[in-house]
Amino acid sequence: MLEKDIINICIGILHKYSPLQKITYQENKFNKNRKNDGYLKLKADSGFTQFVVEVKRILKRPLPLNLFFENISRDKIPLIMAEYINSSIASELIKKRINFIDCQGNIFINIPNKIYIEVKGKKQEKQKEKQSTILFNPKGMQLLSILLNDESLLNNSLRNLQKMSGISLERTSKVIKELKENGYIWETKKNYFKFRNKKVIFERWIENYGERLRPKLLIGTYRISSKTSFQKIAQILKNKNLSFAYGGETGAEILSNYFQAGCIDLFIPEEQSINVIEHLKLAPAKEYNIRLFNLYSEEIIFPDKSINIPTVIPILVYAELLYQENDRATEAADIIFNKYIKKY
């Protein structure tokens, strides 16, 4: 969505709120060196309020709020306009008292003794693809996860990629074909491919994780003795020669050496789940303290030799943390992003 379309839609949403009597927007045309995109003036019964506006398509973590609103005068109030702001980021912005509005109708404007509007939780409307796509279906996302983690794998044979990702050869071929047709990858020299804009496809992968890939990966939720640490679980599984890796909160604890997990997130081959449940003495539970996910490929085990206990690749740890939508998980997600993913 173009920036001007985001502005027009957001202003249209503001017009629906009766406390607001007059709304004017001025684009920042005169000083292109400034970070901010424009100025919004709202008139209510209590008088005028002026905002400095930053326009973003979709907000992603980490949030560089200091860069959005640097060098603004004290009489100007920050406001973010976006195509979409998910509920987790909306909660963080509200906590930081940053005003925002998105094209879905999520909004927070809090001017003490003047204006208070808060709406959150509205989901992003899914746009229909011009063509049917496999890229962001579960199987396509499995292959994309290993390609995003190691871009050099783009130059492997289809047969090797099929084996690495655990999907069919036909689907592997379709994923690579669509990456080429949609301009996500390009041939830098003969038969050598790279991502054209890795950040774009990474962000789309993250956006689709919770709705499309995660439900296919989650084997189940269980209770385990509170005395059983993830270190002890690792030892039990090693002794039984069972494959495993930690993700989500547990993966973040291992990778960050800082965060303390509240739930154990364990990836195992789905075909070994009965054995794992038996050896760990797990009981299915809605009020759980351990989640089992499908370790769909050995390629998603993070190959960092400095880590004693295996984790899945950081992109999967990050995606699961963001899906949890709580402050602890969000904090851990920022750490993982800055330490391992920012280089993407």
Which tokens sit at 30?
A: 């005169």
Q: Which CATH architecture has domain 3-119?
A: 3-Layer(aba) Sandwich (3.40)
Start-to-end Cα distance in the chain = 23
| Least confident segment among 55-64, 99-108, 120-129 | 120-129
**CATH number for domain 138-211, candidates 3.40.50.261, 3.40.47.10, 1.10.10.10, 3.40.50.11820:** 1.10.10.10
User: Could you tell me the pLDDT band of residue 141, with boundaries at 50, 70 and 90?
Assistant: very high
| 212-341 has CATH 3.30.460.40 classification | yes
Looking at residue 281, what DSSP letter applies?
T
d(CA 297, CA 243): 10
**Residue range 263-307, pLDDT digits in tens:** 999 999 999 999 999 999 999 999 999 999 999 999 999 988 788
Higher pLDDT, 267 or 1: 267
| Least confident segment among 16-20, 51-55, 68-72, 242-246 | 68-72
Q: What's the pLDDT score for residue 21?
A: 80
Q: pTM of the prediction?
A: 0.67
d(CA 267, CA 248): 10
The answer to whether residues 293 and 244 touch, using CB atoms and an 8 Å cutoff, is no
Residues 6+ apart with CB under 8 A from 291: 218, 220, 221, 222, 248, 263, 264, 265, 266
Helix H or strand E encompassing 2: none
User: Could you tell me the pLDDT band of residue 186, with boundaries at 50, 70 and 90?
Assistant: confident
Q: What's the pLDDT score for residue 30?
A: 47
Q: What's the pLDDT score for residue 115?
A: 85
Q: What's the pLDDT score for residue 103?
A: 92
User: Which amino acid is residue 4, in one-letter code?
Assistant: K
d(CA 236, CA 239): 5
Q: What's the pLDDT score for residue 71?
A: 53
For the chain, what are the domain ranges?
Answer: 3-119, 138-211, 212-341
Strands (E), 227-271: 245-246, 264-268
Higher pLDDT, 87 or 314: 314
User: Could you tell me the pLDDT band of residue 32, with boundaries at 50, 70 and 90?
Assistant: very low
d(CA 297, CA 287): 28
Q: What's the pLDDT score for residue 155?
A: 92
